[in-house]
Structures are given as structure tokens and as C-alpha cells.
Structure 1
Amino acid sequence: MTPEEQVTLAHAFECTAKGWALFPVGLTKAPRTPNGHKDASTDHDRIKAMHIQYGFALIGIATGERSNLAVLDIDRQHNGLNWWQANRHRLPDTRTHRTRSGGLHLYFQHKAGLRCSTARIAPGIDVKAEGGSIIYWPAKGLPVLSEAPLAVWPEWLVLPPHRDPTQPPMPVGQNLTAYITGQLYGLIRTVVRAPPGQRNASLFWAASRVAEIVAQGHLVKPYAEAVLIESACRAGLSHTEAARTIASAFAAGI
């Protein structure tokens, strides 16, 4: 085992000591195991076996009940840091990591019922909770900005649930015609209601059609991606799986 691999495993075991379930991730942030975060484990022997078979280029942590962990993901590229600066006085002191893209991961205790969301709180602000995952960036030398104990998830960041969990979310701030709205609603309803075993295929198909709507100038891409990711997470896919499938569909369609 190389010195770098030894360091990575040492970081991994620091995480498991906190009760965080891990799985191997590639440098592109794509899971390396067949089932992604569903393969996450706190067992040292299992983690070593996954490292031998797949390699931990990056350490993925399954968020939600399994790790008792929820993360507020603040993205520098979508003005998330501006939101953080404006609201940091409302946020409790909690463990905080710098991310590879220059953003922030704020670690909290998981709150029962909390699920992943993308840009629902604000543009550039995502929630990684039940059904999601994050990258443990300190293992790649990025700083831990606060080692404070994990705070309770702030109540003001608990968004009201949608009345019908099978109803797809619609983008905010988009001036859409009734025809385009109907098209988009039907596509993301397909994603939300896709049965197990067909979710990735349904997402790719719907994202390809949404990419066509974006290419025609009827919808802004960041909103389209956010709605698709939230729909996919609601259907049961992880944020990482959804983002990868959507990116592939957009690359093929635009």
C-alpha cells in the first residue's frame, strides 16, 4: 500500500469513528461501487475490501439516517457564498469543511425526514440528507474551517413538504408558456414516478427532452438541472447519480 493510500485509509477510519458510512468515489466524484452510497459501510474490513477492489480516489460519505449526518452544501459557483455571508449570523457553529470548488460543507446532525434538495433554499444552496452523499474533502488536504461539534439542523432551513410527494417541483422565476409548462410538468412527473429499476433510464430520457427545451431558449439551464435533480432525488436516486445522468443527457442533447 502506498503512503498516499495509507493516508486515505487513515482519514476513512477517522470518519467511521464518527459513525459515518463510507464508499469509494473517483476523482470526477462518480461512485466506484455498483450501488454508490448504498454500498457505504462503517466496517473497517469492508472498507479495506472496497479499497482493494475499487480504490478510494475520494472518500464518499452517505448522508442521512445511516450516518446521522446532514450537510448544507454551499456552492461558490452559483452565488452560494453570498447567501452564506448574508445568513451566517443565523447559522449555529458547526463542523465546516472547504470544498474543492471553493465552497463550504456545513455538517449537522441529521433531522428525521430531511431529504436532499437542490437550490430550494436559495441558488447555490443544496441539502445533502437522506438518500444523498458528500465528499470528505479533508482527505485531499482541504482545510477543516471549524471542528465544532455537529449542531442540530436549523429549523428555519426545514422547508415545507410538497403536498403530494409524487408531484414534480416546478422552477421558480421562469416565464413559461402554458405549453412549455405542460411539457416540463409531464417530463419531471415521469422522473418522480419512475419505478425502481427504471429510474436512471427515465431520468436520462426526461433530461434529454428538457435539454431540447433549454436549447430552444424556453428554459434556463441551471433551473432545469435543479428541478431534474430534485425530482430524481425524490424518486430515490442519489444526488450524485442524478447529476451524472443529467450531465450525460445534456451533453448528448445540447
Structure 2
Amino acid sequence: MTPLQHALECAARGWAVYPVAQDKTPRTPNGHKAASTDPERIRAMHVQFGFVLVGIRTGETSNLAVLDIDRQHNGLEWWRDNRHRLPATRAHRTRSGGLHLYFIHKPGLRCSTARIAPGIDVRAEGGSIIYWPSARLEVLSDAPIAEWPEWLTPAPKPAVAPSWQPLHVTHGDKARNYATAALHNAVQRVAGTTTGSRNAALNAETFSLARFVQSGSLSPTEIAGAMAHAGIAAGLEAAEVQATIASALGSAAR
């Protein structure tokens, strides 16, 4: 089957799809928000953008939630320890060697990262996944899609990001003022980033800001505090935010 045929098959199941590139980035300008179950709309997207991989919008639109089990971070070990607690349901192999377990969407369920356990993510309202059979990866189980297990509902996280006060502009210090403006703009960009590219945006913006440490215009503490605020405001987990910031600042210092 071609990627377009896979997309149409998914749509027939009620899953809203959109075209994705080989590197997993959306090919439509508005990403997963362009997802549709309408065959004519899907064919039109294929003509305009081309389906290389098939993306599925998760959550209420598709009545679909996916447990994303990462091969890294001990995700597969968690799955082996807990698979006896999971109902039989549709399962796919992912390109990285992990698993996607498909479930019926639970109202109110949203995306989360490592809140259930390290290496275990939830793709639900506000998110999307790649339909890996469109890349000829294995369907491990074609069992009917089960209800979302109640015990997998992630614990709620604080709704408020850590407080951060914008830095003051210093009159006469052009280098400091330029760096401060760049920091404020980076915070706004990361905080407004959509699901699927938040960690990459946090890493790129932090790495870019590190040049101001070398020039003496900003301190690592100022950058780390501001970007932690931005990352958590975007919906990332605190542990992931701290690790990404530390990695970006460390890479820039080498």
C-alpha cells in the first residue's frame, strides 16, 4: 500500500490524518490541525503536500489515544513489567524500536511526557502520532481497540509555570539590552510552541542564547531560569526541561 492508501484506510476508521515528511515533521503549514477524515480533502493534501508518512491527530477528533512506549529511558522494560495489566488492543512497532498501543480516547485525557513512567508518553488531546504501518513497520496486534485503562491516567501536573520576571533594560548598555530582548523573544517562542516540536524548540533557543554567556551579556542562570519557565509553560515536564537546558548550554560551551 502507498502512504496515501494508508491515509485513506485510517480515515475510513475515523482517524483524522495529515501528511508528514520522512523526518516526522508536518508537511502542512498548520500541522496536525489540518488533519481530516474526508477522502477528497486527504487526496487534495496529497496533491499539494504529498504523504511520505501518515500522521494521525489524536484526541477527540479521532477518538483515539496512544500509549507511546519509547525504547529509550527503560520504556520497554516498563512495558514488559506491566503488559499483563494492559488489555489486548491494536499495537504497532515504531521506527525507533518502541511501541504504539492504540486505545479509545478518554474525555479530558491530554498529552503527557514521562508522567506515567520514564519512557512512557501519552498522545491524546492536543497531540498526534505517526501511523507507522505507512512506513512498512510491523502491526504487532490488530485486536479491536480497547478502552483507555483507568490506571494509566497520568497524575495531574501544576497548571502554573514557575514564576519568572523579565529582565530589566539597562540604559546605555546596548549589548545587554540586545541580549535581554533576544531572551524575552525566545521565551515567547518556546512558550507558544505546539506539541511535537516543543523540546526541539527549547533546545535550539537555549543553544542560541548561550552566545550571550560567552559575550558576558547574560548569565547561564538567567538563561536557564527563563527557558525553564518557557518550557514548562509550553507543557513539557520539569525533568525534561532541565535536562534539555543543561544539554544545550553544555553543548554551546564546548
Q: Could you say whether these structures have the same fold, taking a TM-score greater than 0.5 normalized by the shorter chain as the test?
A: yes
Q: Report the Cα offset of residue 217 of structure 1.
A: 11
Deviation at 1:114, TM superposition (A): 0.5
CA contact (8 A) 2:161 2:229 kept: no
CA displacement, residues 149-180 of structure 1 (integer Å, 9 cap, x when unaligned): 11111111112323x42335xxxxxxxxxxxx
Deviation at 1:46, TM superposition (A): 0.8
Q: Which amino acid aligns with 1:110?
A: H
Structure 2 matches for 1:8-47, cutoff 5 A?
A: 8-47=3-42
Q: Which residue of 2 aligns with 1:98?
A: 93
| Corresponding residue number in structure 2 for 1:154 | 149
- The equivalent of 2:192 in structure 1 is 199
**1:233 CA displacement:** 3.8
Map of 2:205 onto structure 1: 208
Which residue of the other structure, out of 146, 165, 177, is the alignment partner of 2:159? 165
Residue of structure 2 in register with 1:109 after alignment: 104
> Structure 1 residues 24, 121: CA separation in 2 closer, same or farther (over 3 Å shift)?
same
Q: 1:63 touches 1:69 (CA, 8 Å); kept in 2?
A: yes
Equivalent-residue separation in structure 2 for 1:53 and 1:104 (angstroms)? 31
Shift of 1:208: 3.4
Per the normalisation by structure 1, the TM-score is 0.69
Equivalent residue in structure 2 for 1:127, among 107, 122, 125: 122
Give 5+ residue unaligned stretches, structure 1: 1-5, 169-186, 219-224, 235-242
Deviation at 1:140, TM superposition (A): 1.3
**Is 1:63 paired with 2:58?**
yes
Residues 38/230 of structure 1: CA separation in 2 closer, same or farther (3 Å cut): farther
- What are the Cα deviations for residues 132-159 of structure 1, in whole angstroms up to 9, with x where unaligned? 0000011111111111111111111112
| Deviation readout 1:194-225 (Å, 9 max, x if unpaired) | 69x97139x6478634896xxx999xxxxxx9
The alpha-carbon distance between structure 1 residues 230 and 131, as it changes in their structure 2 partners (threshold 3 A), is farther
Give the paired residue count.
Answer: 204
CA distance in 1, matches of 2:147, 2:229: 27
Supply the AA of the counterpart residue of 2:87: P
Compared with structure 1, are the counterparts of its residues 230 and 205 closer, same or farther at alpha carbon in structure 2 (3 Å cutoff)? closer
Give the gaps of 5 or more residues in structure 2: 163-182, 211-218, 222-226
Cα distance in 2 for partners of 1:103, 1:227 equals 30
Return the offset for 1:91: 0.7
Deviation, structure 1 residue 252: 11
Answer whether contact 1:117 1:230 (CA < 8 A) is retained.
no
Contact 1:96 1:104 in 2 (8 A): yes
Distance 1:93 1:250, change over 3 A: same
Matching residue of 1:183: none
- TM-score for the superposition, normalised by structure 2: 0.69
Distance 1:251 1:74, change over 3 A: farther
C-alpha distance in structure 1 between counterparts of 2:150 and 2:16, whole Å = 25
The aligned amino acid for 1:43 is D
